[in-house]
Structure 1
Amino acid sequence: MLDKTLPYIEFEMKRPNQLPLPKFSRKLPAGFHLKEYQPGDEASWCAVEYAVGEFDTLAEAAAYFAKTFAPYPEELPRRMVFITDKSGEIVATCTAWWGKKDEPLLHWLAVHPSAQKNGLATFLAVEITRRLATLHPGEDLFLHTQTWSYPAIFLYEKLGYQLLPGTKDFEKGQALLAQLRQAKR
């Protein structure tokens, strides 16, 4: 879940291409399964992103999907992944996409609140980082995030992503993250 009690400060993060790929387990907890995008999964993508608070309505999520992802149906099966639970319901998602400057982008990592605390975010972040390295060999990898997603920022840092200076209120955001790290200990 997003922590919207914090000030909203955006960050860009970069993972240099010379870093070795993360050595985290490629196994999901029992009952969870990796699934690549198939037509019709857009409703589940919207439901997960809405559940974590990324969109105020399902209609906003659907409009974003239609604008950003739907124009590239041939890319979605190899770039968008999901995790299903034991009932087959999609409970998490992440996408190996590209940014406005065509940079490789870890995009829209989300785990439904009912499935959080199972290591699914780590699994997806590693999976998408690996896919990006394969799809864009020799290129630095990027992502966009914000203080509301501070647990994700801490995860990304463990995977070698580094905060890039230059965004509005960057220093204020760094100070807030330092406080959150300290409180976590």
Structure 2
Amino acid sequence: MQRLPLIMVRSLSNIPTHPVPEAYHIRSFENDEKDWAAILTNAGEFDSVNAGLDRFKQEFAPYPAEVRKRMFFLENEAGQAIGTASAWYGELNGEEMGRIHWVGIVPEYQGKKLAKPLLAFLLQQLASTHQKAYLKTQTTNLKAINAYLRLGFTPYIQDDTAGAIWEQVYTELNTMRQ
């Protein structure tokens, strides 16, 4: 499937609970931009850690106080950062909303049911200041899209093109689930 952008939205009421498994915990950002870049590079978002650091500087460096409150890391029992995600903010079609931003878990920890607890935690964080949340993803992230759908996110279909893309995604998801 071609890599195309997608947007998903969710109300921040009735957030499901997904406890973090015992051996893991979530903590706030502590000047971890290198960990952030490494996790997202390992998860396939960047070609190199340096490219990730450049993106961090561009998107987050101007907002150090917000980063400390809104960026989180998932750590294993050894205290190693193995996942990251941000409970950021943004605007979608003129409406201010919370934003699930830059979600990534290193490959060796993917498939261990860690994304749902991390995402549920982020949704709880956003619910204190927002009524809705959105996220952006790509058609090639089918496992993530499946997790987002199970957490109550729905497709944001702004035009016929987006509708057609979502039809393709649902076809791929149905094939994947069989």
Q: TM-score surpassing 0.5?
A: yes
Matched, 1:86 2:77: yes
**Which residue in 2 is equivalent to 1:3?**
none
Residue number among 30, 36, 58 corresponding to 1:67 in the alignment? 58
Q: Distance in 2 between matches of 1:47 and 1:151?
A: 21
Q: Distance in 1 between matches of 2:122 and 2:159?
A: 24
**Which residue in 1 is equivalent to 2:22?**
30
Deviation at 1:151, TM superposition (A): 1.2
Q: Distance in 1 between matches of 2:121 and 2:162?
A: 28
**Which residue in 1 is equivalent to 2:7?**
12
**Which residue in 2 is equivalent to 1:134?**
128
Q: Distance in 1 between matches of 2:62 and 2:160?
A: 31
Gaps of 5+ in 2: none
Amino acid paired to 2:145: I
Kindly, what percent of the aligned residue pairs are identical? 27
Deviations 1:123-173 (A, max 9, x none): 11111011111132xx22111111111111111111221111126842332
TM-score normalised by structure 1 residue count: 0.86
Please show how residues 44-123 of structure 1 align to structure 2 within 5 Å. 44-100=35-91, 102-123=96-117
Deviation at 1:31, TM superposition (A): 2.1
Amino acid paired to 1:51: N
Matched, 1:159 2:151: yes
Moved more, 105-114 or 154-163: 154-163
Amino acid paired to 1:83: L
Q: Distance in 1 between matches of 2:119 and 2:9?
A: 13
Q: Distance in 2 between matches of 1:68 and 1:85?
A: 26
Kindly indicate whether the alpha-carbon contact (under 8 Å) linking 1:13 and 1:164 is maintained by their aligned counterparts in 2: yes
Kindly indicate whether the alpha-carbon contact (under 8 Å) linking 1:9 and 1:169 is maintained by their aligned counterparts in 2: no
Deviation at 1:86, TM superposition (A): 2.1
Structure 1 residues 35 and 51: alpha-carbon distance in aligned structure 2, compared to 1, 3 A threshold: same
Gaps of 5+ in 1: 1-5
Deviation at 1:113, TM superposition (A): 0.4
Query: How many equivalent pairs are there?
Result: 174
Deviation at 1:60, TM superposition (A): 1.3
Kindly indicate whether the alpha-carbon contact (under 8 Å) linking 1:10 and 1:167 is maintained by their aligned counterparts in 2: no
Kindly indicate whether the alpha-carbon contact (under 8 Å) linking 2:139 and 2:169 is maintained by their aligned counterparts in 1: yes
Deviations 1:31-68 (A, max 9, x none): 212111112x1100000100011111211110110111
Higher strand share: 2
